[in-house]
Structure 1
Amino acid sequence: MGHVLVLNASYEPLNITHWRRAMVMLLKGKAEGLEHDSSRVIRPDLLLPTVIRLRQFVRVPYKPLPLTRRNLFQRDNHRCQYCASTTQPLSIDHIVPRSRGGADVWENVTTACLGCNVRKGNRTPREAGMPLLQEPHRPHSGLNFEASRQIRAGRHAEWAKYLIGAA
């Protein structure tokens, strides 16, 4: 059936859960349904939720999104940041090369197709005359990545209004 976006009492996105878990939270009175899939009826008086909000605020400690290959490719939308290719195999490129002291941080890495990565070589994009399509940045959260992916895939368009930078 699907996944459900879970919001804190403050409407801040917390996570994505399975519809069964969401139904349990609704039936126990721990959450309220904000958006529903009218084509899926559980009981005559109960629609399948797509977005729920917790009734009580849950304090969540900040945990930065780890810099991994998968997260980096998602941040850059699986696209070369030099030539915009989505069909070529991608690699990770350091904007300031590691041999020149460039660090493994969100602001210094980007995705590049193999051809662009080889052409850029051990130079900065400015030295190579290869401008970036977008400046690299630390993403907001992993939840926004996953939710944005589902929105782009044509599922859960109603989630976009609850997420930062989605769609």
Structure 2
Amino acid sequence: MITQNPVLVLNQNYQPLNICNVKRALALILLEKAESTVDGQELIKSPTQSFNIPIVIRLMSYIHKPIHPKKISRQGVLSRDKNTCQYCGMSSESLTLDHIIPKSRGGKHTWENVVAACIKCNHKKAGSTPQEAKMKLINKAKKPNTDSNYMIKGKTVKEWKPFLISV
């Protein structure tokens, strides 16, 4: 459905901020909270008006992005790890969180110490470290990058490229 197509959202200063869908972008434009910066060829019609489908919009007022790091959460860890067990590589919707250094041994609940793990691997590792369980992490656990350009990477539309740095 065309109203679900991705639209790049720029801050007032043209800095990439987020991605929304066409429906949300048109709502922001009609409410005069944003303007279309790049339009596509396709039209969307209402009974009284026609609109070019926006590809890039710019907000009319500046949005201050929080500079504090993203708080760790189950959803955040699963997203960072792409819903994949970091020990065996299995993709699953029923993953658990594993503390690399177990909490019982002083391990903290931080981005650098928590990974997605399937139930089988989590039970195998249990209260030991990966080395003790003879298990190796596929990817090093780290804080997710909150830079807008990084979050948008891989989802780009060619018309977005002038607004993105090194994507």
TM-score normalized with structure 2 length: 0.73
Distance 1:163 1:76 in 2: 24
User: Structure 1 residue 70: deviation in Å?
Assistant: 1.1
CA distance in 1, matches of 2:71, 2:44: 38
Matched, 1:24 2:30: yes
Aligned-pair CA distance for 1:126: 1.9
2:4 paired with 1:5? no
Unaligned runs of 5+ in 2: none
- Runs (4+) of structure 1 exceeding 6 A deviation are 142-146, 163-166
Other-structure match for 1:97: 102
What's 1:158 paired with?
157
Separation in 1, partners of 2:139, 2:131: 14
- What corresponds to 2:134 in structure 1? 129
Which structure has greater helix proportion?
A: 1
One-letter amino acid of the counterpart of residue 58, structure 2: R
For structure 1, which runs of at least 5 residues remain unmatched after alignment? 152-156
Change in CA separation of 1:12 and 1:148 when aligned onto 2, cut-off 3 Å? closer
Secondary structure (helix, strand or coil) at the match of 2:127 reads coil
How does the TM-score come out when normalised to structure 1? 0.73
Task: Give the stretch that moved more between structures: 10-19 or 99-108.
Answer: 10-19
Distance 1:141-1:32 versus aligned 2 partners, 3 A rule: same
What amino acid maps onto 1:106 in structure 2? W
> Over aligned residues, Cα RMSD in angstroms?
3.4
Alignment-derived partner of residue 122 in structure 2: 117
Distance 1:106 1:50, change over 3 A: same
- Work out the percentage of aligned pairs sharing the same amino acid: 31
**Equivalent residue pairs, number:** 156
CA deviation digits over 1:22-73, x for unaligned, max 9?
3226xx4853423x443344566x4111321336644333243221111111
Cα 1:70–1:87 change in 2 (3 A) is: closer
